[in-house]
Amino acid sequence: MAPRRPIVVASKNGATALPAAMEILRRGGTALDAVEAAARIVEADPADTSVGRGGWPNILGTVEVDASIMDGATRRAGSVGAVRGYLHPISIARAVMERLPHVMLVGDGAMRFAREIGAERSRLLTPRTRGLWLDFLRQVRETPRSVLRRRELAPVVMRTVRLERKGTVNFIAIDRSGHMASAVSTSGWGYKYPGRLGDSPVIGAGNYCDERYGGACCTGFGELALRGLTAKTAVDRLAAGMPPEEVARAAIRDVNELDAPRPAAMNIVVLARDGGYASATNRRYTTLEKRERRRFSVMTSDMSEPLLLDRTLVR
Ligand code: ASP
């Protein structure tokens, strides 16, 4: 196969990690290594409140992270969910894919496996995210102690539905050999019910990659992508010959038809096997500053820095 021009497409918060991912691809590294390395950078960044260290805690103040990785060449996949105290869930997910006959581990089992492979431990809650969690508890007239003692957490979690406390990082790459891989990492829904999993660790919902056609990854209200198997549906549409821009729009149109409490934000990035890409969202922003958040990022091997582009708005 003739050498291909490497490319990585990411959610906006992935832009900081794109030069490192591209460096791996320029040197002839694999798409799988590039997306894992990129996700690790965002996971370790305490300034990103939606992924890894510095991520949103659950309603009890514990950060529980989810991640998934998929090899587009073999369609092997690995994922972990509800992992506490480990810095790089993406690497645990990759180890699930490579060292176990399984695809997905959650909770205690995932943490046991993380220990077994010597994964790096870390305190994920930062003073900033702890402070924001305390602010939220104050708003709903709770304290860390009262919420811990509650028999029913559901009424408090219901108060989080309209909060802007989400976020995830997405990466999809094509390497010089034309192989593809995708990675997704998140702390999930801020102040979620303990044990809640969103779309990010579920292969087919928040992440799917099949290099015969392409890859797709989501961020946003994960329950919607779970209900619509949004990432797999997008790749099925690529397989049917739909161009990436239409695939991204169709994905958001599907989500918009689901009955859900608004705002039910959903964003998707799509990368086709020929390097064509697109991204769409259903989030309308009124201020310029917030509009920034509606972007996604892309980097090809001939760029010196990542490009930030507007996602197509689909209402
Ligand atoms: N999709 C993630 C989740 O539901 C959160 C997000 O991307 O905003 O866990």
- The reported pLDDT for the residue numbered 289 is 59
At 167, is the pLDDT very low, low, confident or very high (cuts 50, 70, 90)? confident
Q: How confident is the model at residue 315 (pLDDT cuts 50, 70, 90)?
A: confident
Mean pLDDT of the region 54-63: 96
Which position among 49, 168, 230, 233 bears the catalytic label? 168
Closest ligand 1 atom to Cα of 66: 9
Residue 122 has pLDDT above 70, yes or no: yes
Considering the domain 7-313 in this protein, what is its CATH number? 3.60.20.30
The mean pLDDT value for 67-77 works out to 98
What's the pLDDT score for residue 65?
97
CA of 223 to the centre of ligand 1 (A): 8
pLDDT-based confidence at residue 2 (cuts at 50, 70, 90): low
What pLDDT does residue 101 have? Answer: 98
Range with lowest mean pLDDT among 1-10, 180-189, 198-207: 1-10
pLDDT digits (tens, 9 = 90+) for 43-58: 999 988 889 999 999 9
Mean pLDDT of 102-114: 98
Nearest atom of ligand 1 to the alpha carbon of 196: 9
pLDDT digits (tens, 9 = 90+) for 247-273: 999 999 999 999 988 778 999 999 999
Active site residue 126: no
Q: What is the DSSP string of 248-288?
A: HHHHHHHHHTS--PSP--EEEEEEETTS-EEEEE-----SH
Are 234 and 241 within 8 A, CB to CB? no
Dihedral sign, Cα of residue 253, residue 254, residue 255, residue 258: positive
Q: What pLDDT shows up at residue 290?
A: 67
Q: Tell me the pLDDT band of 292, cut-offs 50, 70 and 90.
A: low
222 CA from centroid of ligand 1 (Å): 5
pTM given for the model: 0.96
Reported confidence tier of residue 104, pLDDT bands at 50, 70, 90: very high
pLDDT band with cut points at 50, 70 and 90 for residue 1: low
The span from the CA of 103 to the CA of 97, in Å, is 6
Whether the per-residue pLDDT at 288 is higher than 80: the answer is no
> Is the beta carbon of 222 within 6 A of some atom in ligand 1?
yes
- Region for 214 from its dihedrals, namely left if φ exceeds 0, alpha if ψ lies in -120 to 50, beta otherwise: left
Residue 287, pLDDT > 80, answer no
